[in-house]
Structure 1
Amino acid sequence: MSPPDPSHAPAAPGTTALPRFTADPIASTLWPRWMLVTIAVSASILVTACLLWAFWCCCCRRCHHNPHKPRSQETVGLASARGPTSSHMVQPDVDELGSSVGGPHLWGRLLLSLEYISGREEIRVGLKQAAELRTPAPGHSADPYARVSISTQPGQKHETKVHRGTLSPLFEETCCFQVPRSELPQAILWVQLLDFSRFSPHALLGELHLPLGTVDLQHVLETWRELGPPGSAQAEATLGEVCCSLRYVPGSGRLTVVVLEARGLAPELAEPYVKVQLLLHQRKWKKRKSSVWGKTTGSPYFNEAFTFHVPLSQIQSVDLVLAIWTRGPQLRACPVGKVLLGPRASGQPLQHWADMLAHTRRSVTQWHHLWPAGEVDRALGRQPRWRLPLPHS
């Protein structure tokens, strides 16, 4: 028989028995077991969520900064801009902006080639194809053909074949015009796209007005050109051009617009001046006005700079409008023509805006044709203002 365990021996009278040692530490705590299990499970879920969030952030950062992204998909770079804002927030792709609503590009594009043969003193115009033509009646097709002429040779013209039921005709035709070298700087190439109809007048689908003095004809040139609305080519030829310089500094948000000069205006215009206007989200925001040119001339020289504060986060939502105004016969100011630059522009004005954002802190200068004020206002979605008639008007 084994001796009795002293730990089970009864306590002597008058003494206090010591508590027994407990092997379970959870049982010795004051919290119940279910509460400890709940805390452990919650902590595990929290740690797992933190790890998943960190892994997701690393994957997103790696996708945004993929070094193997092709150059054709890269946006305009702003390496000199400081701050957390990246370049894709500033300038979208020019091709995407070319399809925006409300510009002359809605009338289509034309691919043509130009070659000047010095020995024969003739210019060879090749009509390749047209794309994205606009029909007079929405939802209907067209039977387009092209008509080509030179301003210095009004009696000569060339018409292509009619292409049935298409808005992207493939012409592949060439025509030649005799243009002496002395008349080349003043010559203007006119291309009209028309919709053939057997029993009604042929409707104009779009026009192209290209001064040959602004094109380098020493080599064969093949390029896409934007078509303007019907009648816009004559308007461009009579309204004139304006030269401006753009410069943007992302760090300080300074947009500098320098209006240099104008040319090709009607010589009878009196006291011309320039209005520079900024629109934010299609609403009037800021405006400036140049000094009035006192002389009556078709080529006023302004050379005035206007500075606007446009934060980097708003440069993509801004429209810049340059308008030449003059005093009318009743001493009322009226616009001669306007130019729209910005993300909603098209053609050369859009390219000028993109070059400004691609070469920040540098001035980019370019000539622009003046468009009718009504065309630009409709492109901006603005309603015409009704003016009260003056007495004796």
Structure 2
Amino acid sequence: MVPPPAPHGSLAPAGTTALPGPVPSLITGIPWPPWALAAVAGAAGILIVSCLLCAICCCRRRRRKKPRDKEAVGLASTRGATTTHLVQPDVDSLEAGPGGPQQWGRLQLSLEYHRSNQEVRVGLKQAAGLRAPDPGSPTDPYARVSVSTQADQWRETRVHRGTLSPVFEETCSFQVPQATLPGATLRVQLLAFRRFSPHVPLGELRLPLGTTDLRHVLECWHELGPPGTDEPELSGELCVSLRYVPGTGRLTVVVLEARGLSPGLAEPYVKVQLLLNQRKWKKRRTSMRKGTVAPYFNEPFTFRVPVSQVQSVDLVLAIWARGPQLRAQPVGKVLLGARASGQPLQHWADMLARAQRPSTQWHRLRSPSEVDQALGLRPRLPLHLPHH
């Protein structure tokens, strides 16, 4: 017979395996067979043991990887063996002072002197390592060459777009008599082109010709220095807009404004002249502007130039004004066309490349004699009347 259950609160009878407390009561309260409870307990034990083993293995792997990582990166030996010289071997040369060679770049050129015609021939090869005036924005450099004996005459290369290492491969020449050669100095300026603002100097080279052996062709690299501070006052600049329509053969020249003119000039105006095959062809002129050194014109002129003749045309813009002698004289000229050089040639090429679209640019004034010499024009000789 089955003995009756013990009353609530009494102890279990002797000879039983039940233990007092809440855990046996919970186990006895689960309606599962004993083998199911044993299986669940075994699975839980296996899971706990597996988690413990995984945690131990991960800790051991981390301990083993830490020394290897330190050896690979070199953290343990940075203070003792690594120096700044080993990491940056050229740090001293890269951190040169203001005006150092690493800041302003280098220029490769060739020099040759022809004693027969007393001519100095300068060959601009290339430049390297120029300093950008505005970091992050493109730089359009070009070179300007002059000789101290002819300060009012200079030559310019074409503009190279978006580079700090332009390749020029251009040659220019200057007439330097042998008697003045020992005191002459060659000056090469590197500038960044700006279409609507003053051009930014990038560096400069001054090479005394008297101390240079010009008996042979010399070609070598020269370190550029800082831009010179003794830049002479310019005779002025002229802003011009060009537009050419090939279909109708219309060349539109808009004289916009001038700036930087001498304060002693009065009533400036601009003469616009077209030359065809080195002969005067067509001309126009603007109205006068009184009492200003920065006259604003904004006057358009249209010329009929067929496509077959556009490469044979020279466009000359000359600023005239009355000086102290109360007589109108040319202050300076700008030459545009296929026979121009430097920025004017680049402006003419942009006009032809961008057909039917205006192209506007500032140009420095050149001396009238220099432009006439480039065009091959001879000065008018005075007529000698016979004496009666």
TM-score by length of 2: 0.48
Structure with bigger gyration radius: 2
TM-score by length of 1: 0.47
